Amino acid sequence: MKKYNFNAGPSILPQYTLDKTCKAVKELDNIGLSVLEISHRSKEFQKIVDDAVALVKEILKVPENYNVLFLGGGASLQFSMVPYNLLGDNQTASYLETGAWAQKAIKEAKLFGNVNVVASSSDKNFTYIPKNFKVPEDSAYFHVTTNNTIFGSELLEDLDSKVPLIADMSSDIFSRPVDVSKYALIYAGAQKNLGPAGVTLVILNPDILGKIERKIPSMLDYKIHIKNNSLYNTPPVFAIYASFMTLQWLKEQGGLEEMEKKNIAKAKLLYDEIERNSMFCGTVEKDSRSRMNVCFLPTKPELEQEFIKFATEKGMVGIKGHRSVGGFRASIYNAMDIEGVQALVDCMKEFEKQHA
C-alpha cells in the first residue's frame, strides 16, 4: 500500500532528493568517498556550498548584496541569534504573535532587550493573522512568523516595513515567490520544505549588522559566519547536500511561480472538501488559511480517533493534529503532489459515506 506523508516536520522530501542523496551516501560524484565522509574543507564540499548558495539566490531572486548562510542549531537558535545580533540592551524589538513559534521567539528576545507585541491572535487560539497593526518606527526590527505549522495560518504577502523586517519562514520557504529585498533577514529550518533536519537557511542584508555594542560569541555572530562562508566550524554536510538536491529539483519544477500554482491548487482541493464534507470543519479564518499546513476538526468529536485510524489504514501518515488544536493536520509541502492530496480527499469522502 502506498503511503502519503503528511507529517509536519521532519516531512516529505522530493523523490529526486531522496534518490540523489542515497546515491551520494554510497559515493559522491565518483570520488571514492561517501558524502557522509568528505571533509568540509574539501574542494568537493566547497563546490556544493557555493552551488547551493547560487541556487538559493537564483530561485529566490536574492539581492546581490545579501548573504546566504547554512547554519546549525535549527530555527530555534535563530530565536536567540537574531536579538543577540540586532537588539541592544536599551532598544525595543517588535513582534507579531501568531502562534507557538512566534511565542518562543518573543520569549528569547526578552533576554536581550525590550519586546513590543504589536498584535496577537492568541485571543482566538491563533486562528487568524492580525491586520491593521502599527509598528513603532523606533523599533530595532519587526519579526514575523510567516507560516504557523501548529495552528494552520499563514501570512501570504510580503509586508512593507519602515524598520528592518525579520521573518521566520521555516515552513513556507520556497513555496511562493518572495520579495527578499523587503526583508532584512529571513531564516528557515530546512526540515519542512527544503531538506532533512540539521541545517538552517539564513538570508540577510549585512548592512543590519555591527550596530550594537554587545560582544557576541563567535558561533552566534552572523559576521563570523559570513566571513567564513558558513564554514567557521564543521557544518551539517549531509543536510546541506540534501538541501542542494532539493534546490535543483525546485529549479527543474519551474521555480517558485510554478510551485505556487501547484500549492494553491493542492490547498484549494483540500479546503473545498473540508467545507463540503459534513464530517469535518476548518479551524482557521478563510483569509488566513495556510497552504502548507491544513488544520481541521471532526464535526462529531467522538469520531476523531476513528478517522485517524481509518485514514492511517488507507496510507495517510501523520494527519493527527497538534495537541494545541486537536483534530487533524495535513501538511502539504512542496514535495506533496496533487495525487497525495486527492488520496486524502477520497479518504474523507469514504469516511463520510460510512458515518453521515
Catalytic residue set:
101, 168, 192
Query: 222: part of which helix (H) or strand (E)?
Result: helix 222-227
Which DSSP string corresponds to 310-350? HHHHTTEES-BPPTTT-SEEEE--TTS-HHHHHHHHHHHHH
Do β-strands 185-189 and 165-168 pair in parallel, antiparallel, or remain unpaired?
Answer: parallel
Question: 160 burial class (0-12, 13-18, 19+ CB within 10 angstroms)?
Answer: exposed
Q: Which amino acid is present at 351? A: F
Cα–Cα distance measured from residue 93 to residue 184, given in angstroms and rounded to the nearest whole number: 14
Judged by phi (left if over 0) then psi (alpha if -120 to 50, else beta), residue 98 lies in: alpha
For the record, the C-alpha cell of 197 comes out as 533536519
Q: Where does 175-267 show beta strands of DSSP type E?
A: 185-189, 200-204
The b-or-e profile of 240-264 (16+ CB within 10 A means b, else e) is bbbbbbbbbbbeeeebbeebbebbe
- Cis-peptide, bond into residue 10, ω within 30° of zero: yes
Neighbour-count burial of 138, counting CB atoms closer than 10 A to its CB (0-12 exposed, 13-18 middle, 19+ buried): exposed
**Grid cell listed for 312:** 492511517
